[in-house]
Amino acid sequence: MENSWRKIHRNDSDFMKGRRGDHLLIPFECDYCIFLKLRGNNPDPSIPKDELLMACIRRMNLDAFWSRERKTVELNADRAERQIYLSELVGLRGPFIQEGCLPDFDHCAYEVAIEILLYSRQPGRHNKAYTQFDTIRHLRATYSNYVRASPQSNKVTTSLGDFNGNYQRLVPDDCGSLFFKRFMDGLKRRMGQDWRPNLAFPIPLLLKVLDYSESEINSDLPDIEKHLWIVFTAYIAISYVISLRGPEGFLLDLAGLRRHWKEDGAVLVIALLGKIKGEHHDLAHLIPCAPITESGINLRMILKRLINEKEKVNLKYGPAISDISGSPLTTRQLNEMLHEALFHCFEEDRSLFPQKVVNRDLIPQYFQIFRSLRRSSDTRALEKKIDTKDIEVVNRWRTVEEAKGKRPSRPMYQHYAQFELLLDPFIRYTSKM
């Protein structure tokens, strides 16, 4: 079993044995008992699958043990021994009585835990030796979603209600067991979290990306490719200036842009169609915006060119972030175009990039349209000392929260009923971008 054991373990020497008192903090079962529950027979060392399953079970138990600090375990064990000693002074046997055995089936989601361990040993995105914790933990959510939708959870509805009419459904989910919680805590402590967030664009780099896009538009590329670069430029500019996350930029509505377009208006109106995270109504979101930003991004020209380009191919309605046939572009397509521009910029001037981007292979890891543009906008707002209240107005759909004097959680139509009151915060914000 040693070979399979090492396939599952990292830093094996720290986990080769449990500590005194670990079993007092989790509902512990030995490896063989768990194997018998899962397979219905005893393990056969000559069968590779049995060997691997036993290694997974041992790893699972040790992770559950190591969910608590060593000092916590030792102090808890010392206190338990003291209680037994004190009970013996008066002829008692101690209060630690176990009534019966644990169930003879998988009542703690052992199988889900084993799947998570096996998943962790597959090549990951950032490391070829393992998949990081933040990825493998989603298997728990997948199983829990299934449980909530299964017949056994919906034959009888059990819920808790409060005086405001809010209900919390209760379902029999094995992943809610104490053992499984301890296992996930220990697994997280052992593996750690390799968090690599998307970086914000330094403004010179963002402008360089837009310059590259302009050069592609003015080149001798086929019309179908020029069309894509015109759309790409609009997506990058809008998402950055009005602080949109990746999926929100795809909501740019062509008909709304045309309907609210004014050639010489002091304010641009950006129309986003659909539901944005944190809102409760499907509306056409009208967002006022400065025509030209302080960093030199000419939104009026970029959007006017987009509208004209769409008219050339007889597109007047539907998503503006689309190809020449009107089909919506995907995140992958826009990311590929972004990375093409960034690769060019990297070869031309590496000083534009943050220090941690030491080679071009790291560019896709640190720059993605999903969050880089939003982080760039937020960073620029702090750099330009934009008032916190203006930032909160622009980012009002970021999350649904209680107001608490900061960001109100109310339907968006209440804001649009007072559109003129929102104009100044948006202009102050977008003009600084």
Chain segment 6-39, per-residue pLDDT in tens: 344 444 444 445 578 888 888 889 999 999 999 9
Report the DSSP pairing between strands 283-289 and 268-274: antiparallel
Question: CB 88: neighbour CB atoms within 10 A?
Answer: 11
Residue pLDDT, tens place only, 182-192: 999 999 999 88
> 373 or 415, which is more confident?
373
Residue ranges of domains in the chain, CATH in brackets:
2-95+102-154+167-191 (no CATH), 203-431 (1.10.443)
String of DSSP letters for 307-353: HHHHHHTT--SSBSSB-TTSPBP-HHHHHHHHHHHHHHHHHH-GGGS
Residue 66: partners with Cβ closer than 8 Å, 6 or more residues away: 15, 186, 189, 190
Q: What is the pLDDT of residue 421?
A: 56
Say if residue 419's pLDDT is above 90: no
**What is the residue type of 385?**
K
Cα–Cα–Cα angle for 305, 254, 425, rounded to 5 degrees: 85
Calculate what percentage of the chain has a pLDDT beyond 90.
47
Say if residue 220's pLDDT is above 80: yes
Q: Is the dihedral of CA 333, 198, 128, 47 positive or negative?
A: negative
Q: What is the mean pLDDT of residues 90-98?
A: 89
What three-state secondary structure class fits 281?
coil
- From 284, 296, 287, 292, select the one nearest 266 (Cα to Cα): 292
Q: What is the mean pLDDT of residues 213-227?
A: 93
Residue 418: partners with Cβ closer than 8 Å, 6 or more residues away: none
Residue 394: partners with Cβ closer than 8 Å, 6 or more residues away: 242, 243, 425, 426, 429, 430
Residue environment code for 273-296, b if the CB has 16+ CB neighbours within 10 A, otherwise e: bebbeebeeebebbbbbbbebebe
CA distance 94 to 80: 9
Q: What is the pLDDT of residue 19?
A: 73
CA distance 299 to 202: 19
Q: Are 263 and 326 in contact (CB under 8 A)?
A: no
Q: What is the pLDDT of residue 401?
A: 36
Sorting pLDDT into bands at 50, 70 and 90, what band is 115?
very high
Q: What is this structure's pTM?
A: 0.65
Sorting pLDDT into bands at 50, 70 and 90, what band is 392?
confident
Say if residue 277's pLDDT is above 80: no
Q: What is the pLDDT of residue 128?
A: 82
Q: Are 285 and 268 in contact (CB under 8 A)?
A: no
